[in-house]
Amino acid sequence: MTEQVPGKVDMDKLVSLCKRRGFIFPSSEIYGGLGACYDYGPLGVELKNNVKKAWWKAAVQERDDMVGLDASILMHPQVWVASGHVEGFADPLVECKQCHQRWRADHIKDGKCPACGGELTEPRMFNLMFKTFMGPVEDAASVVYLRPETAQGIFVNFQNVLNSTRRKLPFGIAQTGKSFRNEITTGNFIFRMREFEQMEIEYFVKPGTDEQWFKHWVEQRFNWYSNLGVKKENLRLRQHAKDELAHYARDCYDIEYLFPIGWSELEGIANRTDFDLKQHSKYSGKDLSYFDEETKEHIMPYVIEPSAGVDRSVLAFLADSYDEEKDKEGLRVILRLHYALAPIKVAVLPLSRNEKLLPLSKEVYESLRSCWMVQYDDAQSIGRRYRRQDEIGTPFCVTVDFQSLEDRQVTIRERDKMRQIRVPIEVLKATLEAKLGGEPLDVLPPGGEKWLGFE
């Protein structure tokens, strides 16, 4: 799991870029960090928000059959009894008798401690849910859990959403939010964290149509990653073997990505049958069935669940877009992020700090920042500033030079092939809008001459 895949960006390189440029920091770093918890810095929070925005757009905004939800993290403790988490959400834990490090038994290859080779204890089951207490008394009656998945917040709101939106089957509920798991084995940066974020859909269908909807969602979700620029050769589907399926699942596919550490799960799509709604009906005593107007029957819907991790997606998008090119100035590092995901869409760069360039540069900057995240940078040489923007994935740089003061034209320079075009300032915003929205580069803006070759 910790081996480096040849030809893939080094995980250490990604970690270092993320720290240096303000994408991701270890949590509470000045105190030595906190195991498998991370903080998203100024660029990381933009990237992460863009991933969630792109997911919400595909999952809710562009579909007639989906609605959103934002349920609380703390839920009634019975939720986790009904869902099976109190009983079964556990991993087998072993401890080294010599160095006392703890490991997941199913991650051990040769029966020995991976750190010191020492003898290991017999495995015992360790529940992964974080516990806390609600109210001032710390006793068994006030135990609550930090949710280990967002899914249950959707199931317990099934009737609320149904009644308030008058939805008919099939329809789905989407939610993004934090989840918490007291993972035994961590490491590999943001691949496996103790506090992380999920993007989950519970899609409710008539029993008998579940297989068809399962296929639909596997396809939709796979395409979501490739539409956002993830290379197809780095994505694959893996069906779970029968003995691997979770207790609630009839079928499950993982979308796997070729991470720097090897092929690993990016998202799971499961056919959860009517397990969850039945369990919550039983434990709450509330009828969670659906009345089918056509057949005049109460039915318990089946559920298809595409469940993705925000942080794992961020890692996949970073790893997939990382690129290096040798050129005369050394090494150009580029994040070839899809425009929709890039944290900064445009950088405004005056050619130099000469104060004559300042008013027009600021005017251009001010005119763009209400539309996108735009950076203004006038420190160091223009070449260095281009490199800095390439390294954080900024699709377009706009340069204001002395000629601009005379003809009110600026240069747009694109990230991937460093092509440049000069356009009048009055068409700048519309040009950037069109290009960021996917218009091919070779469609020329009004008043723009053709893109100039390479830098």
Residues that bind ligand GAP (CB under 6 A): 149, 151, 181, 183, 192-193, 196, 198, 200, 265-268, 305, 307-309, 311-312
Backbone angles phi, psi at 395, to 5 degrees: -65, -40
Q: Which is nearer to ligand GAP, 235 or 333 (CB)?
A: 235
Smallest gap from residue 336 Cβ to ligand GAP (A): 22
Q: Which is nearer to ligand GAP, 303 or 397 (CB)?
A: 303
Smallest gap from residue 71 Cβ to ligand GAP (A): 13
Smallest gap from residue 183 Cβ to ligand GAP (A): 5
DSSP string, 243-286: GGS-TT-SEEEEEEEEETTEEEEEEEEEEEETHHHHHHHHHH--
Two tokens at 240?
A: 């779970």
Distances (CA, A) of 243 to 263, 264, 332: 20, 18, 47
Q: Which is nearer to ligand GAP, 171 or 189 (CB)?
A: 189
Torsion of CA 372, 378, 384, 386, to 10 degrees: 30
Smallest gap from residue 443 Cβ to ligand GAP (A): 37
Q: Which is nearer to ligand GAP, 192 or 387 (CB)?
A: 192
Of 419, 437, 447, 427, nearest to 372 (Cα)? 437
Neighbours of 104 (CB within 10 A): 15
Cβ neighbours of residue 369 under 8 Å, at least 6 residues apart? none
Smallest gap from residue 363 Cβ to ligand GAP (A): 44
Q: Which is nearer to ligand GAP, 197 or 377 (CB)?
A: 197
Residue nearest to ligand GAP (CB): 309
Identity of the amino acid at 240: H
Triad 341, 64, 439: Cα angle to 5°: 35
Distances (CA, A) of 410 to 18, 340, 424: 31, 23, 6
CA 329 to centroid of chain Cα atoms: 34
Q: Which is nearer to ligand GAP, 170 or 268 (CB)?
A: 268
Pairing of strands 171-180, 66-68: parallel
The answer to whether 169 and 301 have CB atoms below 8 angstroms apart is yes
Identity of the amino acid at 296: K
Q: Which is nearer to ligand GAP, 35 or 447 (CB)?
A: 35
298 forms bridges with which residues in the sheet?
A: 291
Neighbours of 5 (CB within 10 A): 16
Q: Which is nearer to ligand GAP, 256 or 378 (CB)?
A: 256
Cα gap 75→145, rounded to integer Å: 7
Smallest gap from residue 375 Cβ to ligand GAP (A): 29
Smallest gap from residue 186 Cβ to ligand GAP (A): 8
Q: Which is nearer to ligand GAP, 149 or 390 (CB)?
A: 149
Cα gap 217→219, rounded to integer Å: 5
Pairing of strands 195-205, 90-95: unpaired
Q: Which is nearer to ligand GAP, 180 or 386 (CB)?
A: 180
Smallest gap from residue 172 Cβ to ligand GAP (A): 14
Q: Which is nearer to ligand GAP, 92 or 424 (CB)?
A: 92
Smallest gap from residue 239 Cβ to ligand GAP (A): 14
Smallest gap from residue 255 Cβ to ligand GAP (A): 8
Cβ neighbours of residue 231 under 8 Å, at least 6 residues apart? 320
Smallest gap from residue 265 Cβ to ligand GAP (A): 5
